[in-house]
């Protein structure tokens, strides 16, 4: 069966609250759905959801590039296996647009499986498996962050990830101490994400203070691109460091290997929409595991279309530690889906149906 037509649909996701990061506050997010048709039937859908201020692709070129991709996909035979889907995506996708690569890969994988939003046939999609996730605490006032923390704990999360860098450091320490005063590291795992907010000369001292609170890890303590400084921190840190923004734009296998050899972090964070799709994510994982570097995946604020694909990828990879996949409840106007969250886990509710797109 061949792809007889392909189209794109733009959607602006509206946050339920002002989502604060060290790069600014998010109120809305643009995303694009890539739809594949065969004989007038929708057989595949993928999401290209770049994040302004973080992704490498220019948002004003997204529709033009996606339209070119659609033109190249029309008439192609629907692939029969994952590797074939990756080959097609590689041939039609423009360089420098990682979220488009993710959309093409996932739409083709969906088409392989008959357009049921089935990307990987795993126990997650079958409703038999739940994936542990972290509860995300967004930046804001001390009171707003305290409220979020309590809500996550009340909801049964045993892994909390707090974004830091917006308030003064002592205030952020006090928020983390308030959790640790009531919950040991065996009861609640604490992660923090600095989004590059620390200055290199002060970073090690701050890591030492954070380490006293038995944290699991810190994501991207200093800005990306300072390889020597980051390598020094990773070699001296009392707190495991996870690279995140550092991975942006590193698409060549040799460059991926060189980056991890240079810095030698304890963990890497993988966002498929940011690092070039599923094939690139799998390549990062293979390299990291060969060097005994840990990893976990997070969504990049996609709608439930992209989130569904990442959850299924996580299940395919048989993840055990909490992933960053709890973003489906952030928006007023998300696509209705079977993806649910309960007791710090995400799962696929077979009694629920997908909404229209």
Give the catalytic positions in this structure: 163, 271
Phi, psi of 82 (to 5 degrees): -60, -45
Rounded CA gap, 74 and 38, in Å?
9
Bridge partners (DSSP) of residue 267 are 242, 294
Q: Which of 236, 309, 312, 250 is nearest to 96 (CA)?
A: 250
The dihedral over CA atoms of 226, 231, 234, 237, expressed in degrees to the nearest 10, equals: -80
Rounded CA gap, 187 and 153, in Å?
11
Bridge partners (DSSP) of residue 162 are 137, 192
Rounded CA gap, 237 and 231, in Å?
10
Q: How far is CA 137 from CA 14, 160, 209, 211, 327, in A?
A: 18, 7, 20, 19, 11
Q: How far is CA 215 from CA 77, 190, 209, in A?
A: 49, 5, 10
For residue 11, give both structure tokens: 């959607």
Instruction: Return the residue matching tokens 């109120």.
Output: 27
Give the SS3 label for residue 4: coil
């Amino acid at each position: 069966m061949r792809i007889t037509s392909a189209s794109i649909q733009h959607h602006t996701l509206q946050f339920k609250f002002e989502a604060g990061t060290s790069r600014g506050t998010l109120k809305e997010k643009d995303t694009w759905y890539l739809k594949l048709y065969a004989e007038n039937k929708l057989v595949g859908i993928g999401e290209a959801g770049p994040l302004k201020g973080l992704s490498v692709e220019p948002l004003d070129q997204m529709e033009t590039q996606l339209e070119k991709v659609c033109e190249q996909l029309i008439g192609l035979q629907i692939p029969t296996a994952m590797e074939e889907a990756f080959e097609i995506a590689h041939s039609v996708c423009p360089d420098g647009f990682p979220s488009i690569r993710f959309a093409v890969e996932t739409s083709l994988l969906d088409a392989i499986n008959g357009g049921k939003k089935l990307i990987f046939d795993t126990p997650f999609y079958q409703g038999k498996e739940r994936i542990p996730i972290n509860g995300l605490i967004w930046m804001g006032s001390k009171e707003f962050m305290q409220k979020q923390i309590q809500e996550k704990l009340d909801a049964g999360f045993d892994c909390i990830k707090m974004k830091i860098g917006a308030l003064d450091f002592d205030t952020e320490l006090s928020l983390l101490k308030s959790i640790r005063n009531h919950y040991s590291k065996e009861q609640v795992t604490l992660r923090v994400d600095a989004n590059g907010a620390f200055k290199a000369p002060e970073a090690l001292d701050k890591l030492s203070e954070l380490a006293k609170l038995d944290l699991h890890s810190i994501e991207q303590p200093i800005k990306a691109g300072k390889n020597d400084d980051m390598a020094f921190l990773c070699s001296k840190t009392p707190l495991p460091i996870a690279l995140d923004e550092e991975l942006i734009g590193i698409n060549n296998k040799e460059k991926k290997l060189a980056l991890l050899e240079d810095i030698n972090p304890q963990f890497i964070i993988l966002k498929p929409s940011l690092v070039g799709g599923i094939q690139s994510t799998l390549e990062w994982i293979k390299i990291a595991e060969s060097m005994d570097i840990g990893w976990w995946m997070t969504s990049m604020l996609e709608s439930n279309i992209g989130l569904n694909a990442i959850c299924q990828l996580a299940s395919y990879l048989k993840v055990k530690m909490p992933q960053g996949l709890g973003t489906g409840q952030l928006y007023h106007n998300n696509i209705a889906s079977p993806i649910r969250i309960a007791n710090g886990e995400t799962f696929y509710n077979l009694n629920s149906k997908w909404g229209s797109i």
